[in-house]
């Protein structure tokens, strides 16, 4: 607990953490380009945990901005510290519940989304809480510029299949590509090779990593 409180206190001091209680939190919607001080594309990692994708992609693509989003401050703390240590000015972390994304981003403000190992929420009654359910997809579509790409990585076969089925019913997407064994696939390129905490855990048990991506029209 003390450790957690120390992390929260550090988050409160860090410029790259946007969270409730800071003036920037209520001002940020529609102002992310001003925050980063450039007009580069803004990429979101949803359910970022320790932020491996946010930091990893930011290291690969200096000409893009990356925002890791998660409700857990103690996890975000780790990514925000790494970004500081690596002097990555193109990284921020946003501490919110995902349902509140539209309160912090305006229409077309984002250029791409990565969803990395989201909680599978297997119970039927929890379908609408899955980060790939239709109501979340509708929200992402609103936040993303036309033709933006959404990527999903997961260990969970049921969530992967559920997401594919949901997407195949949509008429507002194109260029859907997917694999149920990413490491053996030609989709396994540099950005897909970044490894998260959950990925490490499941891959070490021999669970194949599933991946899909598509673009909204």
Ligand X SMILES: C[S@@+](CC[C@H](N)C(=O)[O-])C[C@H]1O[C@@H](n2cnc3c(N)ncnc32)[C@H](O)[C@@H]1O
Q: Which residues are catalytic?
A: 119
Q: Which range, of 23-31, 45-53, 105-113, 179-187, touches ligand X by CB under 6 A?
A: 45-53
Torsion angle, CA of 33/38/42/47, rounded to 10 degrees?
Answer: -70
Q: Are 77 and 53 in contact (CB under 8 A)?
A: no
Percent composition of the chain: helix, strand, coil (DSSP 3-state, to 5): 45, 25, 35
Is residue 29 close enough to count as binding ligand X by CB under 6 A?
no
Is residue 133 close enough to count as binding ligand X by CB under 6 A?
no
Q: Which range, of 54-62, 71-79, 84-92, 168-176, touches ligand X by CB under 6 A?
A: 71-79
Going from the C-alpha of 128 to that of each of 100, 153, 175, 186, the distances in angstroms are: 14, 19, 25, 32
Q: Which range, of 2-10, 44-52, 178-186, 207-215, touches ligand X by CB under 6 A?
A: 44-52
For ligand X, give the closer residue by CB, 70 or 82: 70
Select the residue interacting with ligand X from 187, 197, 203, 208 (CB under 6 A): 197
Is residue 116 close enough to count as binding ligand X by CB under 6 A?
yes
Is residue 75 close enough to count as binding ligand X by CB under 6 A?
yes
**Closest listed residue to residue 1, CA positions, set 82, 49, 73:** 73
**Closest listed residue to residue 75, CA positions, set 98, 114, 48, 54:** 48
- Exposure letters 32-46 (e unless 16+ CB within 10 A, then b): beebbeeebbbbbbb
For ligand X, give the closer residue by CB, 82 or 199: 199
Is residue 162 close enough to count as binding ligand X by CB under 6 A?
no
# binding residues, ligand X (CB under 6 A): 17
Residues paired with residue 66 on neighbouring β-strands, in sequence order = 43, 91
Q: Are 88 and 59 in contact (CB under 8 A)?
A: yes
For ligand X, give the closer residue by CB, 1 or 171: 1
Is residue 47 close enough to count as binding ligand X by CB under 6 A?
yes
Torsion angle, CA of 82/90/194/149, rounded to 10 degrees?
Answer: 150
**Smallest separation (angstroms) from ligand X to the CB of 81:** 16
**Closest listed residue to residue 159, CA positions, set 127, 186, 188, 202:** 127
Is residue 198 close enough to count as binding ligand X by CB under 6 A?
yes
Select the residue interacting with ligand X from 15, 97, 135, 190 (CB under 6 A): 97
Is residue 102 close enough to count as binding ligand X by CB under 6 A?
no
Q: Which residues bind ligand X (CB under 6 A)?
A: 47-49, 70-72, 75, 97-98, 116-119, 196-199
């Amino acid at each position: 607990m003390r450790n957690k409180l120390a992390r929260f206190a550090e988050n409160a001091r860090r410029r790259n953490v946007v969270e409730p209680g800071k003036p920037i939190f209520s001002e940020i919607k529609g102002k992310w380009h001003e925050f980063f001080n450039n007009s580069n594309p803004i990429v979101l990692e949803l359910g970022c945990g320790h932020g491996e994708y946010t930091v990893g992609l930011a290291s690969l693509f200096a000409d893009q901005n990356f925002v890791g989003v998660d409700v857990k401050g103690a996890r975000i703390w780790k990514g925000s510290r790494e970004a500081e240590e690596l002097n990555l000015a193109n990284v921020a972390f946003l501490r919110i519940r995902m349902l509140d994304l539209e309160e912090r981003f305006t229409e077309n403000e984002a250029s791409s989304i990565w969803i990395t190992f989201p909680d599978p929420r297997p119970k039927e009654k929890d379908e609408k809480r899955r980060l790939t359910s239709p109501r979340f997809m509708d929200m992402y579509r609103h936040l993303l510029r036309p033709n933006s790409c959404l990527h999903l990585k997961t260990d969970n076969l049921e969530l992967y299949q559920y997401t594919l089925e949901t997407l195949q019913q949509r008429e507002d997407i194109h260029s859907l590509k997917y694999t149920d064994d990413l490491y053996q696939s030609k989709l396994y390129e540099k950005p897909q090779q970044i490894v998260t905490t959950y990925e490490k855990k499941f891959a070490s048990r021999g669970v194949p990593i599933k991946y899909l991506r598509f673009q909204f029209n």
